[in-house]
Structure 1
Amino acid sequence: MQTIDFHRRADELAPAVLGAVLWRGPIGLRLTEVEAYLGPDDPASHAYRGPRGRAVTMYGAPGRLYVFRSYGVHFAANFVCSPAGQASAILLRAAEVVGGAELARERRAVARQGRDLPATRLASGPGNLGRVLGLSMADDGAPLGEEFHLEPPARPAAIARGPRVGISVAVDWPLRFWIAGDPTVSPYRRSPRAIGGNLPGNKDGALL
């Protein structure tokens, strides 16, 4: 039974899912880095302009996956949060593979020499995480608790926060959360199209 309450807004819930393990079949991913997107209140969110196109899933019931194709190549996963109609979501950015490591390496090897990758890089970055999970657009809207199962964190973790990666608007909002010091966390990359400067100290993160 799913025990994490997804009716909370994404920025409130994001720290609570760090350390949780997302299972799909034999693949288990301990979430180490996520980003919050705040629906129509957030110009960087796919839901900013309302429930149309790929954003429709975000406006639906919470506790489901929102899957989108990134750069026309990779599939990225989000948890839909908040009551239906509010459209906040948590992007899954990085994870530690804790189950199904061989299958994870096989899936990464489709695109590159996955068997040569260190374990910490297998599911680091949204596209890599999606590939390890075997995501496709058929998974958009899938409810947690069925094919995808989320185990709450076993213990609290030291969590840091800072600006989100690669977006061009709302670039300084500190809505990226990660487990401090975890080697699977992806590097911070500021988009060359970003408008405005960083808030002081956010690049390396501030502990919560």
Structure 2
Amino acid sequence: MVQNPAANLPKPGKLLKRAFFARSVHEVAPDLIGATLLVNGVGGIIVEVEAYHHTDPAAHSFRGPTARNAVMFGPPGFVYVYRSYGIHWCVNFVCEKQGSASAVLIRALEPTHGLAAMRRRRHLTDERTLCSGPGKLTEALGITGAHNDLALDAPPFALLARTARPQIVFGVRIGITKAADLPWRYGLKGSKFLSRPFAS
């Protein structure tokens, strides 16, 4: 049986507003671990994220605004969705202040709401692998480019605060070649729903 550290977390709290994101991306990223992300009622507990600061050469905003990354230069609390390698969608939450162009990539969820819909979209039954990666979770939640530049505090999104601080681990980010040594990946300690385990 899959161990489930998030099962010991309290039930989700109140809806998070855009002001939650008007802080440093390095404060927001770990604070998202344990929050619940829902899209049209489907989703789960955030167990893994990565922070991307505008001064970071791995950030899409590093070289300035483009048509693709324009939402990153807008106000915090909005969704930045992009296609990775032309294959799958990735969802990010814009942080800090307008123009700062920093964001948090959502890497993995523990599925808790709408499992039937997720299994149908992913053609899988194993809960552990439904949302264990940025492309997997967007497919499971039905997130596409149509969600780009939508507010996180309005339908179809609902982001519910955690009500207790979980144990958080951190390490280097995954799948990048620039600034690959920065420990800006955060996760729920002991979670079996991560995209990849953290180094012990």
Q: TM-score, normalised by structure 2?
A: 0.88
Within 5 A, what are the aligned runs for 1:98-113?
98-109=112-123
CA distance, structure 1, for counterparts of residue 144 and residue 37 of structure 2:
16
- Identity level (%): 39
Gapped regions of structure 2 (runs ≥ 5): 1-14
Aligned-partner residue type, residue 129 of structure 2: R
1:171 deviation in Å?
A: 0.4
**SS at structure 1 position matched to 2:69:** helix
Name which of 17, 32, 53 aligns with 2:32: 17
Name which of 118, 132, 138 aligns with 1:124: 132
Aligned-partner residue type, residue 199 of structure 2: D
Instruction: Detail structure 1 runs of 4+ shifted over 2 Å in the superposition.
Output: 1-4
Quick check: 1:204 aligned with 2:196?
no
1:2 deviation in Å?
A: 2.7
Within 5 A, what are the aligned runs for 1:115-154?
115=125, 118-146=126-154, 147-154=156-163
Name which of 22, 43, 51 aligns with 1:36: 51
Equivalent position of 1:175 in the other structure = 184
Aligned-partner residue type, residue 63 of structure 2: R
CA distance, structure 2, for counterparts of residue 148 and residue 184 of structure 1:
21
CA distance, structure 2, for counterparts of residue 56 and residue 49 of structure 1:
12
Quick check: 1:94 aligned with 2:108?
yes
Equivalent position of 1:200 in the other structure = none
CA distance, structure 2, for counterparts of residue 20 and residue 92 of structure 1:
11
CA distance, structure 2, for counterparts of residue 28 and residue 56 of structure 1:
26
Is the contact made by 2:43 and 2:109 (CA closer than 8 Å) also made in structure 1?
A: no
Superposed CA RMSD in Å reads: 1.3
**1:187-207 Cα shifts (integer Å, max 9, x gaps):** 16xxxxxxxxxxxxxx616xx
1:82 deviation in Å?
A: 0.5
CA distance, structure 2, for counterparts of residue 103 and residue 155 of structure 1:
28
**SS at structure 2 position matched to 1:94:** strand
**1:156-198 Cα shifts (integer Å, max 9, x gaps):** 100011100010010000000001110001116xxxxxxxxxx
- How many residues matched? 184
CA distance, structure 1, for counterparts of residue 164 and residue 120 of structure 2:
30
Name which of 91, 99, 118 aligns with 1:85: 99
Aligned-partner residue type, residue 77 of structure 2: G
**SS at structure 2 position matched to 1:124:** coil
Structure with the larger RCO, 1 or 2 (CA within 8 Å, 6+ apart): 2
Aligned-partner residue type, residue 61 of structure 2: A
Name which of 44, 53, 57 aligns with 2:67: 53
Equivalent position of 1:8 in the other structure = 23
Aligned-partner residue type, residue 188 of structure 2: I
**SS at structure 2 position matched to 1:167:** coil
1:23 deviation in Å?
A: 1.1
Equivalent position of 2:3 in the other structure = none
1:26 deviation in Å?
A: 2.6
Equivalent position of 1:197 in the other structure = none
